[in-house]
Amino acid sequence: MARRFFSPASAALLSTLVALSPACSRADAPTSPSGSDEAALEAGVTLKATAPALIGPTGGVRTDSVSPELVAGLATPRFALDAPPFEYRFEVLTPDGRVVATSPKVAPGPDGQVRWKVTGRLELDSPYQWRARAELGERVGPWASSASFVTLDYRGLNPRPANGVWPSNGPAVVAYVANAFPQYLRPTATLAERIANMEFLRDRIIEAGVCGGLDVARNLKRGVGPHSHDAIAWRKPNGHVDVIDIASGFDDIRATLKLHWAVVAGPPGYDPLPDHPGC
């Protein structure tokens, strides 16, 4: 068999080609999708957007309500095709991950935030987590990492006085309630709404009065019932019971209610509030 001989130049060229072959193979090999692209579509996510930033409540803070308002920032689209306006969904969960409240789709506000007040009542003095995500039609973005809070730890009237001291005389009690619940003083469309608002205010006056040391209760009309909408019964330290008118303009649903404390004539009917929440 004839032998083939390579010149030194040929040998050098061959060595160079062999060295380049792995590099060329690596450059031509197909690449897998990046981790960020995979993460954007994991767990049922179909909307390429960032998760909204959770603003509050966060960090295990204790809320002043068992129906707190949740506030989040707005999500940002990853591509122009998915441009806002997004809508948002909130969830409240127990520490073990059980969903106990879910919002409908919520539109963002003009302040660059989106808010949802939890419907219903959560358990008192209990830890919860919450999260939010952006949605666009049927597409859903990633959930934000959960934030935590703890609910109200007492059954007392809320809000408490700013200085922590309950008012201890009639005029101060009605002034406190009027300031705490102004939405119930507004004109209403129907008499039924006005009655419901007046009864709410009446019971808050009784609760606050009891917290301030007054012996007040619902009043039974003519001493036998039914309960007065706009009057309460006040038992003085000497045992005498007065009927206290607590509002003017109650019958005129077009007018704003004005709360006051005025003794009026009439047989009282002292009927203690059956479920005072505590102070």
Give 55-80 pLDDT, tens digit per residue: 999 999 988 788 899 999 999 998 86
Q: What is the pLDDT, as a whole number, of residue 248?
A: 92
pTM above 0.85, yes or no: no
pLDDT at 153 over 50: yes
- pLDDT category of residue 155 using cuts at 50, 70 and 90: low
pLDDT at 186 over 80: yes
pLDDT at 247 over 80: yes
User: What is the architecture, at CATH level 2, of domain 43-150?
Assistant: Sandwich (2.60)
pLDDT at 175 over 90: yes
Return the H-helix or E-strand segment holding 140: strand 139-140
Q: Is 122 exposed, middle or buried (0-12, 13-18, 19+ CB in 10 A)?
A: buried
Give 5-28 pLDDT, tens digit per residue: 444 444 444 444 444 444 444 444
Return the H-helix or E-strand segment holding 73: strand 69-73
Query: Six-digit token pair at 67?
Result: 């129906």
Q: What is the pLDDT, as a whole number, of residue 42?
A: 63
Largest CA distance in the chain: 136
pLDDT at 167 over 60: yes
Q: Would you list the domain boundaries of the chain? A: 43-150, 170-271
pLDDT at 272 over 70: yes
Q: What is the pLDDT, as a whole number, of residue 266?
A: 85
